[in-house]
Chain A
Amino acid sequence: MKNFQYICALLCFWTISCGLTAQNLNATLSEQDKLEFQQRIKDNVMEFQGYLSKIANDKNDLSVRNNAIRAALNLYIGKGKPYTSLDDWGNETNHDAVKMYTSSKYSKRLRPQPMSAYLENLKALGEKYIIRVETADAVRVDNITPAAGGRYMAVAYFVQKYYRYTRDGQLIYSDETTKKVKVYIDPIQVGDGVVWKALLGDVYVVSTR
């Protein structure tokens, strides 16, 4: 009888533990959560923009710029490499490495390039020209939508101004781009609670000149 009671107690404890864990990992989104998402996403976006300036500035050591590229890629899902995601129907979807889409006034067609290539190109440009990147303070986050496995998706919008000067300070190019970046927000179990981790996805750019 004693053994039976012991086993029942163990089973109850195990069941409650599983329930707690599952409940936390399947946490539904509160308004506070949404505000936290928005802040987390804004922080990630601003951090990425900061890295762009660092990468493009050839006054920084090569190692600093390469580290900035690595750090920037770590903000992205797959860390700049091909990745998989799960849809709501349990299908695994393969994705190429995160892409940066760019547009030009000379071509209506949007051309994607892997984010790692975009950042390397920026580094190379910084060696030939003086590059300045200016970002609006505001970042808008929309379309916060539940996805599979407790994940959330969102889209962040921000504006960036880009200037390119010759080495002697002559402005040769500038544009203003509205960037739209897909965001993946994953729950991470920490003790009895959940923290949210935001990873950036493909970046769509609409350019004006």
Chain B
Amino acid sequence: MKTFCLTLLFVLNALSVFSQGISDLTLDERFECQVKSLDEFLARLNGDESYPDINVDEHSHINNLAMLMDFQMPHKNEPAFKEKSMKFFRAIEAFPRPLRDTDSLLFAVTTCCVKHLGTEKNITLILQKETDKQNRSRWALVGADGLQQCGIIDTTKVRGISPVEHEIHFLEMLDVFKFHAKDAMAFRKSDTHIDQLSVFLTLLQTGQIELLSVDKLTYHVLAIPGFIFTIDEYVRTNYNSGWLISSFSEMGDERKHVYIQTLLGK
């Protein structure tokens, strides 16, 4: 146990040393070290593959998990960080099944540039992988966010339909929807939630929005009991590069539920 902790402490301390930049490894060495794909990340996380030069022993899984961390993560030198890391690694070790990209608690969050009414804007689209009974798999949209922030929709405005309109069968709707269609969101009841994904898909279908580029991709993983973590891609010339754990924090199931709702723009 002591030897193992020393190993881990060495590795975690090495984060600050190596993040400052060491002499470049060869192209082949860098390629071997780099976590090139989500597939490779999950293989190392699940203990199916190993970072080069990690000895196969009872600590190799934990050591591999340590090498999946972004060495430039904030607060890494704090004692509390090291304790929290160990707890996180133990939780992954104890996870009863391999983590797959089809896990229902793994989300791909993309930051996208779209063109709407001639203007480029940034929104977020969230996807999950889905497998059906015939074992066909695909990525599918589960949420959209940022439409309010970039002005595609305005959920703050309120417009009225006359309080007596019920007596004339709501004929005013013909006028207000015709002349104030741009304020469409304003006609809903205050506590009626706008589903941003439905808005995005409708705008896409009617040709009012065009996807120009996918600028960033982050995976959010909530499958590990008691923890959530994110995976981002780091483009570096040292051996801490590729898809790495960019953040992790303790989180119980209730808060995870809220986190998911926020992530999905709900």
How far, in Å, is B211 (CB) from chain A's closest CB? 12
- Within 8 Å CB of A157, what residues of B? 36-37
Do A208 and B236 touch across chains, with their CB atoms under 8 A apart? yes
Q: Is A53 an interface residue (CB 8 A)?
A: no
The one of A108, A136, A143 that contacts B31, using a Cβ cutoff of 8 Å: A136
- Within 8 Å CB of A206, what residues of B? 233, 235
Residue with the highest number of chain A CB atoms closer than 10 Å, among B31, B215, B216, B242: B31
Do B31 and A138 touch across chains, with their CB atoms under 8 A apart? yes
Do A143 and B27 touch across chains, with their CB atoms under 8 A apart? no
Do B37 and A180 touch across chains, with their CB atoms under 8 A apart? yes
Q: Is B60 an interface residue (CB 8 A)?
A: no
The one of A110, A145, A207 that contacts B215, using a Cβ cutoff of 8 Å: A110
Q: Is A73 an interface residue (CB 8 A)?
A: no
Do A140 and B235 touch across chains, with their CB atoms under 8 A apart? no
Chain B, residues 225-255, CB within 8 Å of chain A (1/0): the string is 0000000010111000010000000000000
The one of A108, A109, A142, A161 that contacts B39, using a Cβ cutoff of 8 Å: A142
Q: Report if A176-B237 is in contact (Cβ < 8 Å); known contacts: A108-B215, A142-B39.
A: yes
Give Cα A136 to B37, complex, Å. 17
Please report which residues of chain B, range 105-120, place their CB below 8 angstroms from some CB of chain A when the two chains form the complex: 113
The interface residues of chain A, by DSSP majority, are classed as: strand
Q: Is B178 an interface residue (CB 8 A)?
A: no
The interface residues of chain B, by DSSP majority, are classed as: mixed
Q: Is B28 an interface residue (CB 8 A)?
A: yes
Chain B, residues 135-173, CB within 8 Å of chain A (1/0): the string is 111100000000000000000000000000000000000
Q: Is A192 an interface residue (CB 8 A)?
A: no
Q: Is B258 an interface residue (CB 8 A)?
A: no
Chain A, residues 153-191, CB within 8 Å of chain B (1/0): the string is 001011101000000000000001010100000000000
Q: Report if A136-B237 is in contact (Cβ < 8 Å); known contacts: A110-B215, A143-B39, A155-B37.
A: no
Q: Report if A178-B27 is in contact (Cβ < 8 Å); known contacts: A88-B138, A109-B213, A207-B235.
A: no
Look across to chain A and name the residue whose beta carbon is closest to the beta carbon of B236: A208
Chain B, residues 5-35, CB within 8 Å of chain A (1/0): the string is 0000000000000000000000110111010
How far, in Å, is B138 (CB) from chain A's closest CB? 7
Do B237 and A159 touch across chains, with their CB atoms under 8 A apart? no
Do A158 and B40 touch across chains, with their CB atoms under 8 A apart? no
